[in-house]
Amino acid sequence: MKTAAFPVLETERLLLRKVTPEDAASMLTYLSDQNVMQHMGLEPFQSISDALDEIAWYESIVKEGTGIRWGITLKEDGQVIGSCGFLNYVSKHHRIEIGTELSRDYWHQGIASEALQAVIHYGFNNLEIQRLEALIEPANYASQKLFERQGFMKEGLLRSYEYTCGKFDDLYMYSLLKHEVSLKE
């Protein structure tokens, strides 16, 4: 899943771009929020160092060819307010996981949906992807609805699938197949 240059995605209101160390402070704002982090399998971030580690992870998945994560920004100000992207690419099977998070200040405005749609289209149009997968905690109703609105189908419950924050988490498996989406730009 190598890309020559980091792709910038543009929607009506958003610019999805590469996150840089200069974005660490704005990322810390939402990644330190318990409400944002409660279903991510991570403790709320405590420092700029935590945000810089997250940015380094974004860079590493691109370098390794296992994923890509865009910073979500509003066109008018360019500040990172969330992220959306792919991880755990399995080239042999043409599948990849997709996920997103967004600052609480921007919930219920259609921003996550707009970003997710752009990333879905990029994946199916530009990568050799047949199947997108989203793993969502059962208590995360908002994410379930977000992905269902994009056409994802709930396939089942993966019991004790991940061990995070000192506990085992069940996760719903959602999927979207390439032929289920209209890929017109």
In this structure, is residue 32 part of a structural domain?
Answer: yes
**What is the tally of structural domains in the chain?**
1
CATH number at residue 42: 3.40.630.30
In this structure, is residue 146 part of a structural domain?
Answer: yes
Containing domain of residue 161, as a range? 9-179
Q: What is the pTM of this model?
A: 0.92
Residue range 24-51, pLDDT digits in tens: 999 999 888 888 767 666 777 889 999 9
In this structure, is residue 1 part of a structural domain?
Answer: no
In this structure, is residue 185 part of a structural domain?
Answer: no
CA-based diameter of the chain, in Å?
43
The residues, any chain, with a CB within 8 Å of residue 83's CB and separated by 6 or more, are 19, 27, 58, 69, 70, 71, 72, 100, 101
In this structure, is residue 134 part of a structural domain?
Answer: yes
In this model, does residue 185 exceed pLDDT 90? no
